[in-house]
Amino acid sequence: MKKFIETISNIWKIEELRRRILVTLGLLVVYRFGAQVVLPGIDTSQLAQLADNTGQGILGILNAFTGGAFANASVFALGIMPYISASIVVQLMSIAIPYLQKLDKEGESGRKTKNQITRWLTIAICVVQAPAYLYGLEALGVPNSAFVLGKGLDFIVPAVVILVTGCVFAMWLGEKITDKGIGNGISLLIMIGIIATMPQSFVQEFISRTTNNTGGLMFILIEVIVWFLVILASVLLHMAIRQIPVQYARRSASGGYEKNVMGARQYIPLRLNASGVMPIIFAQAIMFAPSLIGRTFNSTAVGQWMEVQFADIFGLWYNVLFAVLIIIFTYFYTAITVPTNKMADDLKRSGGFIPGIRPGKETGDYLDKIMSLITFPGSIFLALLAVLPAIVVKLMDVQAGWALFYGGTSLLIMVGVAIDTVQQVNSYLLNRHYDGLMKTGKNRKVA
C-alpha cells in the first residue's frame, strides 16, 4: 500500500501527466453527463419499458457500449459505435482501394486525411442510424404518448440532428482524450460506459442468488473467484510476448559492415496479442448485422432463422460466428499494426540482423511467419475468452447482465484498455526516472 501511495504521489508530481489525467477525467465526466440528457420531446417517465427491453441480448451489449445512453433515449444514444463501424469500413477498404493504400504510406499527413474520411463516413452512418433508432423506439416499448411533440418532422428532424451531433461530439471527445489526455480516447469512452453498468449487474446477480435460493453467498463467492481468474487470464493474454534475438555488425572504415563481428544482443518483442481489444470491438460491431438482416427478411425461412439465432448472444451460432470474426480481425489488425517489412528494413539500415536469417526480405518473411504462428494461439485464446459468457450462462446459470463481464466483450475491453492506459502512465513515470505502476523499487536517480 505504501508503494502504491508513493507511485500515485509521483504521478501527481509530473505536471504534464497530471494535466493529461485531469483533462481525461474531465472529458469522461462530460461524456457520462451527456448520456443522461434525454432527447427533447420525449417524456422520461415513460421510458421504463425501453430500459427493460435493452437490458439483455444484442441491445444489452449496445446499451452497455453507450453507458446506458441507448436505454435513456439520450443525446448520446448512438454512442461511439458509428465511428467504430466507419473505422472498420475504411480499414477494409484500405486493402482494395489504391488511394487509401497511398495514404498509409504518406505518414502523418496520410493518417490525417484517412481520419477525415472516417469522420465523414461516421456522419453518413449516423444519418441512417438516427431515424432508425427514433422509429424503432416504439417497437422497444416506448408508447406513442411518450413523444410529446408527436412523431412528425418537427420532432424527427431536430432529433436526428441532435443524435448525429451527439455522436460527432463523442467522437471529438475521444480524439481529444487521445491528443490532450492519456491516449486511447475511443476505447476509454467505451470502457467507461461498460463500467457504468457493472455495479447494477452485480447487484442484480447478488439479489437473485440470495433471495431465490439459487446458491446464496457461497455461489456468489465462487462467481467472484472465477471472475478474477478470467481477469488474470485476460491480463496474461495482453502481456505475453515472444522475444526475437537481434545482433548488430560493426561498421568498417569503408562504410560497410565487418563480417563475423557481433555487437550486444538485443531483442524484438512480438506480442501474442498485438491487436489488443480492437478485434473484439470490430467483431462486436459486425455482430449487430445478422440479426438486423434476419429482421429485414423475416418473411423468409432463412430470415426467421437468422433473426432468432443471432438475437441470442448466448446462443451457439451467434458465438460461433463471433469467435470466427475475432480470429479473422486479429490477423487483419495485426497485419496492419505490425509492419514486419518495415521492421526488417530498419534493422538492415542499422546493421542489425537475426542470427541465421539474411537481412532484408528474408528477415521480413521470417518476422511475418513468426507473427502468424504466435497470432494463431493468441486469436484462439481471445475468441475463447470472448464466448466465455455463453459458457458461464449454460454451466453456472448466471444472470445475463452479470455474465457479460465473464470474459466476453465487456471484460476484455475493460482489461485491455486498463492495461494500455497503465502502460501510458508507466511510460511517463519511467521517462521522469520514477518507478512505474508495473515495477517495484525505489525512485531512480540520474547520475
What does the pLDDT look like over 22-48, one tens digit per residue? Answer: 999 999 999 999 888 888 888 888 887
Q: Is 382 helix (H, G, I), strand (E, B) or coil?
A: helix
Does residue 261 carry a pLDDT above 50? no
In this structure, the number of other CB atoms found within 10 A of the CB of residue 209 comes to 21
Q: How far apart are CA 411 and CA 192, in angstroms?
A: 12
Contact (Cβ atoms closer than 8 angstroms) between residue 295 and residue 140: no
- Under 8 Å between Cβ of 166 and 76: yes
Residue 190 forms part of a structural domain: yes
**Is residue 412 a part of any domain in this protein?**
no
Together in a domain, 229 and 161? no
CA 130 to mean position of chain CA atoms: 23
Which residues lie closer than 8 Å to 378 by C-beta, 6 or more apart? 237, 240, 271, 272, 273, 274, 330
Q: Do 149 and 88 fall within a single domain?
A: yes
Domain-located, residue 201: no
Domain assignment present for 203 = no
pLDDT digits (tens, 9 = 90+) for 89-103: 888 788 778 888 888
Q: Give the alpha-carbon dihedral of 160, 189, 292, 289, to 10 degrees.
A: 130
232 and 189 belong to one structural domain: no
Do 221 and 184 reside in the same domain of the chain? no
Quick one: average pLDDT of 418-432?
77
185 and 334 part of one domain: no
Residues 141 and 220 in one domain: no
Q: How far is Cα 372 from Cα 106, in angstroms, rounded to an integer?
A: 26
Helix axes 316-337, 81-96, angle to 10 degrees: 60
What gap in Å lies between CA 67 and CA 197, rounded to an integer? 7
Q: Containing domain of residue 91, as a range?
A: 1-196
pLDDT band with cut points at 50, 70 and 90 for residue 66: confident
| Same domain? 165 vs 239 | no
Mean pLDDT, residues 52-77 taken together: 79
Find cell 421510458 and name the residue. 47
Judged against a pLDDT cut of 90, whether residue 222 lies above it is answered with no
Section 280-294 average pLDDT: 81
Q: Which residue has the higher pLDDT, 165 or 184?
A: 165
83 vs 424, more confident: 83
Q: Are residues 292 and 385 in the same domain?
A: yes
Which is more confident, 78 or 54? 78
pLDDT at residue 16 greater than cutoff 70: yes
- pLDDT band of residue 120 (cuts 50, 70, 90) is very high
Average pLDDT of the chain, as a whole number: 81
Express as a percent the part of the chain with pLDDT over 70. 89
Give the total number of structural domains in the chain: 2
246 DSSP β-pair partners: 266
Residue 430 falls inside a structural domain: no
Please indicate, yes or no, if residue 442 is contained in any of the structural domains. no
Is residue 188 located within the same domain as residue 255?
A: no
CA distance 51 to 204: 14
User: For the whole prediction, is pTM greater than 0.85?
Assistant: no
Residue 362: inside a domain: yes
Whether the per-residue pLDDT at 288 is higher than 60: the answer is yes
What type of residue sits at position 369?
A: K
In three-state secondary structure terms, 424 is helix
Residues 170 and 291 in one domain: no
Q: Convert 232-266 to b/e letters by CB count within 10 Å (16 or more is b).
A: ebbeebbeeeeebebebbeeeeeeeeeeeeeeeee
Do 294 and 322 fall within a single domain? yes
Q: What is the pLDDT of residue 260?
A: 45
For residue 289, what is the domain's CATH number? 1.10.3370.10
Kindly state whether residues 185 and 221 are assigned to the same domain.
Answer: no
pLDDT digits 0-9 by tens, 329-364: 898 888 877 888 888 888 888 777 888 888 888 888
Domain membership of residue 413 (yes or no) is no
